[in-house]
Structure 1
Amino acid sequence: MASSTIFKLLCIGLMGSVLLAPPQGEAAVSCSSVYSSLYPCLGYVMGSAPLQQGCCNGVKSIYDAARTPSDRQSVCSCLKSLASSGGGNINFNNAQSLPKQCGVNLPYQITPTIDCSKVY
């Protein structure tokens, strides 16, 4: 009986993951890749360290990976989530200056309130 219940739960979980997975051809940039690329920026964005080259390398790699509007909207959503979850720990002046300081033209500001559906 218990193994039957576990099997049913596994099937439901598998179906849910298939239904929630993005269709092929949609955004290839995941939040986990955005977060790991921006990890070297953490000290700078929190105002506790100077800007490092590793941070700019991460910013540039995300910019290069976001080739389609769907990719850019995904990256925007990831950045919005980071900005929202950081609360009072984020120095938004530093966060918003990152793209320019790293030589990247980001057509939107990183804020917790950005409408990512308008990013193309």
Structure 2
Amino acid sequence: MRSSSSSVSVSGLLLLLLVVLSASSSSEAAISCSDVVKDLRPCVSYLSSGSGKPPPACCSGAKALASAASTTADRKTACNCIKSSAKSLTIKSQLAQALPSNCGISLPFTISADTDCSKIS
């Protein structure tokens, strides 16, 4: 298992990056941290101690969050919520990195712990 801060950063950023699927822009977020947490809660156990394919509820939540975060403000809000929530979790970074492909979601970028939420567009 990797160090908590490294694993948490990768997992938090992975989940954030799921919401970057939409390219529209807005200045006011319609999504809340409670929405983000609710959608991604089914993934926590899998990302912490799972293996193989994620459970269907996890993929459903990740896809729901990707659909809900349709504006730049939503994506930035989701990123910050995930980073904040992830501080209390220890996640397997390899599962986090594989989550998009395992859930049938394509991402046009590389998942990185260096993602800056303020630069999400």
- For the criterion TM > 0.5, the same-fold answer is yes
Query: What is the Cα deviation at residue 90 of structure 1?
Result: 1.2
| Root-mean-square deviation over aligned CA pairs | 2.1
Which structure 2 segments of 5+ residues have no match? 1-26
Within 2, Cα distance between the matches of 1:110 and 1:32? 24
Aligned length: 93
Q: Which amino acid aligns with 2:41?
A: Y
Partner of 2:46: 44
Residue 95 of structure 1 contacts residue 110 of structure 1 at CA under 8 Å; is this kept in 2? no
Higher-Rg structure is 1
Tell me the TM-score normalised to structure 2 length: 0.65
Q: Give me the identity figure in percent.
A: 41
Instruction: Give ranges in structure 1 of 5+ residues lacking alignment.
Output: 1-24
Q: Could you list the runs of 4 or more consecutive aligned residues of structure 1 that deviate by over 4 angstroms after TM superposition? A: none
- Cα distance in 1 for partners of 2:85, 2:112 equals 9
Counterpart pick for 2:72 among 57, 69, 72: 69
Question: Relative contact order (C-alpha < 8 Å, sep 6+): which is higher?
Answer: 2
The structure where helix makes up a greater share of residues is: 1
- For residues 46 and 96 of structure 1, do their structure 2 counterparts lie closer, same or farther at Cα, with a shift above 3 Å needed? same
